[in-house]
Amino acid sequence: MSARMQTVIYPVKDLESAKKVYTALLGTPPAYDSPQYVGWNIGGQDIGLDPNGHRQGMTAPLPYWLVDDINKAIEQLVAAGATVKQQPRNVGGGKLVASVEDADGNATGLMQNP
């Protein structure tokens, strides 16, 4: 399996306030702005704000690693001792996301593009 860091998603409770903070930090307005997700692409790195993240169990920013085959990646990570935190789901346009947790409770996201 090969993977590269693609996205970091921050769970936020107040999307508008968070958008102002990250716009100031990143020095540019979001590339994508909707009530469900706000995102930037800075030098090929995606940064996102998810107003539903807390309801989905996110308690901290979550790094997402881009993989070619999300199901195969999960299989390999589980064989190595990880546990599945969130099964793969389509978040739109055929993009799949999932997450696993290591033995120390660290969550890692996985992402597969269509």
pLDDT at 67: 96
Per-residue confidence (pLDDT) for residue 40, from 0 to 100: 98
Q: What is the DSSP letter of 97?
A: E
Edge-to-edge strands of the sheet including 83-90? Answer: 32-33, 38-42, 45-50, 4-11, 62-66, 107-112, 96-101, 83-90
User: Considering the entire predicted model, what is its pTM?
Assistant: 0.84
pLDDT of amino acid 56: 86
Domains and CATH numbers, the chain: 4-112 (3.10.180.10)
pLDDT at 2: 81
- Mean pLDDT, consecutive 10-residue stretches, the chain (114 aa), reads 89 96 96 97 95 90 95 96 96 95 91 96
